[in-house]
Amino acid sequence: MKLIVICGATATGKSGLALELAQRLDTGIISADSRQVYREFDIGTAKPTKTEQQLVTHYLIDICDPTETMTVGDFQEQAQTLLNNSEKKPQNNYSSPPSPLSPPPPLSPSPPLLVGGTGLYIKSIVQGMKIPKVAPQLELRTQLESLGQNQLYNMLRSVDPLATQKIHSNDQVRTLRALEVFYITGQPITELQAENPPSYPILQIGLDSDVASSTNRIAVRIEKMIADGLVAEVEYLCQKYGVDLPLLNTLGYQEIKQYLAGEISLDTAKELTVVHTRQFAKRQRTWFKAYPQIEWFDVNNPDLLEKVWLRVQQFIDNL
């Protein structure tokens, strides 16, 4: 058993590179994208097209309804199930995973690719995170949110000071989660969390570029999303699920939703999406750069595919 990870910030070409590698390896791709798990959120999440899914088997996309919540623990459980079954003979003619209620098909015996930019999804697998089994408590979260981030962070400092060493004072999402776990279990999240790294070898490939190139790639990507029908997708999702659906407040969807509401122009929506995506990419880059195990490759290198392919071959042959 071996695993190859392709990670990095958004718009660095992870999916395209992974598609080429997967075809050469005759293997499958496990998506590590926290929004691609949701059905009907396609264009704005840069989900693999139906054609791409026919070329290579993709796993852990389209496995949740938009009204459901996919936690890191849910992802880890399903991904580990796939990896544990990876040496079994794969099923043929399979282009997308089934419902989470049914067992996923096995991967190819070749090293699978774990591909995406959701750092916690990847960390949950490569570092074997132990994740507290506490489901989201919406009523509790609503009560806590009303207190404001400053008070929440002070509360966390009093019950779990170690957590505040890892969670930034402005990070409301992780602050709420840590408090949620404490109030449900009575134990600090830092005591419940631990790591049990897998015994199998893992090659982690990171894709990166300079800031100017990244900004240009982001702008091009967003123009393509608009051309591919992002506005119509958002309009359909708003009509079907309502404008208050939390997923519609995420990157790309929120800006187009504002345009559809007549609050901003389409050009402004595109400009804001570029700005917000660039900020998001910076946070992703900071996250991944903290892990020395990742081997970095410049996406602007014309020989990128062959350089990564050579490293993959070395990884497979030397183990």
Domain at 257, CATH number: 1.10.287.890
CA pair distance 149, 6, nearest whole angstrom: 34
CB of 205 within 8 A of CB of 135?
no
Q: Which of 2, 25, 95, 17 is nearest to 53 (CA)?
A: 95
- State how far the Cα of 120 lies from the Cα of 9, in Å rounded to an integer: 13
Judge contact between 58 and 96, C-beta under 8 A. Answer: yes
164 and 276 assigned to the same domain: no
Looking at the structure, tell me whether residues 204 and 308 fall in a common domain.
yes
Asked if residue 217 is part of any domain, the answer here is no
Output the pLDDT for position 122: 97
pLDDT by residue for the chain (319 residues), tens only, comes to 899 999 999 999 999 999 999 999 999 999 999 999 999 999 999 999 999 999 999 999 999 999 998 888 899 999 999 998 865 543 333 334 444 444 555 666 689 999 999 999 999 999 998 887 777 788 888 888 899 999 999 999 999 999 999 899 999 888 998 999 898 888 888 887 778 889 999 999 999 999 999 999 999 999 999 999 999 999 999 999 999 999 999 999 999 999 999 999 999 999 999 999 999 999 999 999 999 999 999 999 999 999 999 999 999 998 5
- Domain hosting residue 258, numbered range: 224-283
| Domain shared by 114 and 142, yes or no | no
Q: Verify that 33 and 147 share a domain, yes or no.
A: no
In a domain, 218, yes or no: no
* 250 & 305 share domain: no
Q: Torsions phi, psi of 186, nearest 5?
A: 80, 5
Distance between CA 267 and CA 306 in Å, rounded?
38
CA 158 to chain CA mean position, Å: 31
Tokens in use for 208?
């990166």
The closest of 144, 55, 44 to 93, measured between CA atoms, is 55
Q: Are residues 55 and 77 in the same domain?
A: yes
Examine the domain organization and report whether 72 and 199 are in the same domain.
yes
Same domain for 158 and 267? Answer: no
